[in-house]
Structure 1
Amino acid sequence: MVFTFSQGLLVTRKAPELIVPERPTPREVKQISDIDDQESLRFQIPLLFFYKNDPSPSMQGRDPVKVIREAISKALVFYYPLAGRLKEGYNRKLMVECNAEGVLFIEADANFTLEQLRDDLQPPCPYLNQLIYDVPGSEGILGCPLLLIQVTRLTCGGFIFAIRFNHTMCDAFGLVQFLKAIEDMARGERSPTLFPIWQRQILNARNPPQVTCIHHEYDAINTNEVPSDNMAHKSFFFSLKGIKALRNQLPFHLKDCSTFELLLAFLWKCRTIALKLQPEEIAKVCCIVNVRGKRYEMDIPPGYYGNAFTFSAVCSKAEQLCKNPIGYAVELVKKAKAQMNEEYIRSAADLMVIKGRRIKFSTRGNFIVSDLRNVGLGDVDFGWGKPIYAGTAGAVAVISFFTKYQNKNGEPGILVPICLPQSAMERLQEELKGLMIQGSAEDLCNINQTQIFSKL
């Protein structure tokens, strides 16, 4: 199939195929955790990786499509649940039927170079469906392939690796772990450097479940949801110089806050103003907190590739958030993150079971942010060097992502895609400029062109 999407640029796709594990794998049913199994994660999310033609000596003259296809088949021997299908059990409990049906794979060729894409390397991707074709029947949660992968060769010798994954199966850390296993196989290894661990019971609810914390992240606090049509999708680039200028607006006792806390609070305030919430209406921001490591004492072993995070929610009346200096929002964010502990995480898993996994986050007045800067997306190297951009294809409804990015001038910073109704997006741009220090607007934030869309 041939598709033209801009100025004569063509993508030619072959028919989708299923890649199965190279060797026989166990036939069994595995339950996912109660943190995996929440309504809010029942969606698929696409990521894009753009590679130049810079092969290592061992990859000289080799076809990236062939190399990656074979490596996926080998990696699935170790990650065989990803080749299965999800089904529901009692109380809507999700489980994986490990049947080796395989993951979807598409081979494609384009008639353009990376250079011709220019600013389109950054989200929102205006031609997403050409770089990762939405195969009919593959977009669901139950009974569908858990991964969809497309590798598109470019005329310059580079290629684009695109992957869409079912979020109930893994988070960004888990996905990168699988991609690194593909990398290992592509380089001739017989097994992954980091062996995968299932052990999803670690993040299951207690018996009996008991909700011991207040979980504002799941509060249905607003009845008027954000409309899903006539949405504007933009990316905002924050330079290091600009972030420093923003930090200078904080009182002395908050200047040691993290860059994530600072930028999250800033965007939360600007976004709330743009949405024009009523003064007494609740504005909420949820940051995604990774619970791996020693800090939370969850005993999550290296190699665990399930969802190992929870939402840390911050609430404020819209009027207070909008009228106070940015330090007000920073303090709220810091306090919420500091209160995150093992009991909170256990309580969240218990809540999923008690509510039958039917609760999910609201959209109006809510802003969810995931920090992907340090999960390793930019380190995935199949043998052609590291990607020049690696990250999500854009925001997903009220969810935005912080991604490392280098602008066209070579300046490093943070890229943040955001979705809002068109009128609110226009107000957001004005607020971003208005809340900056005079004279530093261009230093802090550069905005790419709007992409109007109805569905990512």
Structure 2
Amino acid sequence: MEYEKAPLNIEKEDVLLVKPSKSTSSCILSLSTLDNKGANNNIAQTVHVYRSSSIHDYDSSFNPCHVFKEALSKALFYYYPLAGRLVRHTDGKFRVKINTDSVEFGVPFLEATANCTLSSLHYLDNTNTEIAKHLVLDLPSPQDKNYPLVLMVTKFLCGGFTIGMGMSHAICDGFGASQFFKAILELARGRTEPSVKPVWERENQVGTITTQPFPQCPMDRESVAFSPFVNQPNTKIIKQYCFKVEGETITRLKLSLMNENIRFTTFEVLAGYVWRSRARALKLSSNDKTMLNVLVGIRRNLMDYETLPKGYYGNSTIDAKVVLKVSELDEMPLYKIVKLIKETKNIAFTADYVRNSINSLETNQEDGLSMELEASGAVTVLTEWKHLGFQENLDFGGYELVNFLPAPCKMLATVDACIFSSANKLDDHDPSMDGGVRIFTSLPVAAMPKFKDEIEALSHRVLYALCVLSQIVNDSRVLLGGGWPEMVMAKEIDALDRKTRGKKSLTMEAFTRALLAIPTTIADNAGLDSAELIS
């Protein structure tokens, strides 16, 4: 794409520390069991893209850096722990040290200016998201890594700007980070205080040591699947890409998986499909195991909800893990995979599971094996950002938020990372993205073409028709009078297509028209309404 060829030059000011607008007390704060999870000891970077709204004339005197910095200072009075430093206690757990007299007290803030317009970068609405990592603040020295929050505002020639926010996952999860970001923008728009007051109360979310903890990882080193693309000298480059799945495609996929009166959510059907697609793209060893780790939010589902008061901005997700042999994941009907994911999620929503998970994590804080296996490529860690609130009414100063995305650095650029996010404002002009989903996933560059093919296959009418048939026909041979030989042929072609790199071969394309007629024939022979099923 053209934006990848154009140089992006960014002129940066000196990093300064933004302090709370009013004085706060020095103290040391403890964190919850979920905050202290090993995988959370990292920075999650996001980029928020703003352009001038259509009803707002560009005002050259408006300085987004000044407005945002002033609002940040006001917000830090309420969220003062974010101006402190993360320190490791003698018990191995993290604390937040707030020393208002220290010269290091405050939030690192960087103002920058880019040499281009946001439209020349397509407002960062691209398949390749690499450009985003240049728009976040990455402090170089090891001691700087202890800042819970870093921010960077970059102005563009068009008057638009981006806000890059790096938040320690040990302090906030996505919901908490969104709550803080909203508070800044509310204050930037003139409110005197945030609409939601922050609540710390991490001490109420500490587990109890148990003699029967959950296993932290249901796989071991001997059984984990191997990918030829991971940890190899010539294939170790990992990049994050964004794929858009249209709303109609998702609806058809969900309809194709309807069975036994079970209805699946968009997240569940895409989780099953993406997990399998990643395994195929990575060419995982078929006789070994792969795991899907779904990060399940407990704020709205936990039965003893009063333990998470409104305004709580600490971590509130637990792991729901599904393990299969790679061969099972590849060959099992998608319906069964999705059903397994749904059942695992439902169990994870129960109060008993949540409490046992927290107690187990408190008992075995060090989760080194899980983190090691996540870096192997055999694990997909999946989270959903659709309901975090990062795209809800976050305009200010006559500028509208048109895009929001994870930056491909730190914890969001590892080979296991996969994020589902809703369509952005730029997709409003595209009716096909109504109800659509953006999939952000990180993979070795060598594995990405196959994953791209798998995602594109979702919207392919032939594969959809075959998917419908696989659900309504348990054994195609029962359809006497025709359809069985054609079904076998179609499945063979489908299997061959999965092994074909790049676009379909011309030979496969020649079969397309003939295959399109097969679903109608088979459904009619079964006494089913083919028009209702396939139209």
Paired residue secondary structure (1:244): helix
> CA shift at 1:349, angstroms?
2.4
Matched, 1:370 2:393: no
**8 Å CA contact retained: 1:123, 1:393:** no
2:270 is the counterpart of 1:263: yes
Query: What is the TM-score normalised by the length of structure 2?
Result: 0.75
**Using the alignment, how far apart are the partners of 2:218 and 2:151 within structure 1?**
32
Query: CA shift at 1:326, angstroms?
Result: 0.7
Residue 17 of structure 1: aligned partner: 16
Deviation per residue, 1:70-89 (Å, 9 max, x gap): 11111111100000001111
Counterpart in 2 of 1:444? none
Q: TM-score, normalised by structure 1?
A: 0.87
How many residue pairs get aligned? The number is: 436
Output the CA distance in 1 between the equivalents of 2:201 and 2:462. Answer: 53
Q: Deviations over 1:116-161 (max 9, x none)?
A: 11173346432334312423226865xx221111111122221111
Distance 1:185 1:81 in 2: 18
Change (3 A) 1:276 1:381: same
Distance 1:296 1:288, change over 3 A: farther
**Structure 2 residue 395 is matched with structure 1 residue 381:** yes
Equivalences for 1:19-418 in 2 at 5 Å? 19-54=18-53, 61-100=61-100, 101-118=105-122, 120-122=124-126, 124-137=128-141, 141=145, 144-206=146-208, 208-216=209-217, 222=224, 226-227=230-231, 229-253=236-260, 256-293=263-300, 295-298=302-305, 299-340=307-348, 341-359=350-368, 360-361=370-371, 362-363=373-374, 364-379=377-392, 380-394=394-408, 395-397=412-414, 398-406=416-424, 410-411=430-431, 412=433, 413-418=436-441
Partner of 2:453: 430
CA distance in 2, matches of 1:222, 1:381: 46
| More displaced stretch, 66-75 vs 216-225 | 216-225
Between the aligned partners of 1:168 and 1:55, the Cα distance in structure 2 is 39
What letter corresponds to residue 74 of structure 2 in structure 1?
A: K
SS at match of 1:73: helix
CA deviations on 1:253-301 (whole Å, 9 max, x unpaired) are 3662000001011111111122222333111111111111354324200
DSSP-derived class of the 2:241 partner: strand
Instruction: Rate the CA distance shift 1:355–1:294 in 2: closer, same or farther, 3 A.
Output: closer
User: What 5-or-longer segments of structure 2 have no aligned partner?
Assistant: 465-535
Does the Cα contact within 8 Å between 1:213 and 1:344 map onto a contact in 2?
no
| SS of 1:387 mapped into structure 2 | strand
CA distance in 1, matches of 2:219, 2:88: 22
Q: Which amino acid aligns with 1:121?
A: D
CA RMSD between the two structures? 2.8
* 1:328 to partner: Cα distance: 1.4
**Contact (CA 8 Å) 2:242, 2:441: kept in 1 or not?**
yes
Q: Which amino acid aligns with 2:224?
A: N
The separation in 1 between residues aligned to 2:129 and 2:106, in whole angstroms, is: 27
Larger RCO, structure (CA 8 Å, separation 6 or more): 1
Distance in 2, Cα, partners of 1:436 & 1:319:
24
Letter in 1 for 2:362: V
| Structure exhibiting the larger radius of gyration computed from Cα positions | 2
The range that moved more, 167-176 or 120-129, is: 120-129
Structure 1 residue 355: Cα displacement? 2.3
Contact 2:85 2:148 (8 Å CA) reproduced: yes
- Gaps of at least 5 residues in structure 1 are 442-456
Which string of whole-angstrom CA distances, capped at 9 and with x for unpartnered residues, describes residues 38-96 of structure 1? 11111111101111113999x96532110100111111111000000011113311000
Identity percentage over the alignment?
25
User: How far apart in 2 are the matches of 1:426 and 1:243?
Assistant: 21
**What CA distance in whole angstroms lies between the structure 1 residues aligned with 2:363 and 2:283?**
35
- Greater strand content: 1
In terms of mean alpha carbon deviation, does 237-246 or 277-286 score higher? Answer: 277-286
Aligned partners of 2:294 and 2:382 also within 8 Å: yes
Deviation for aligned residue 1:24: 1.2
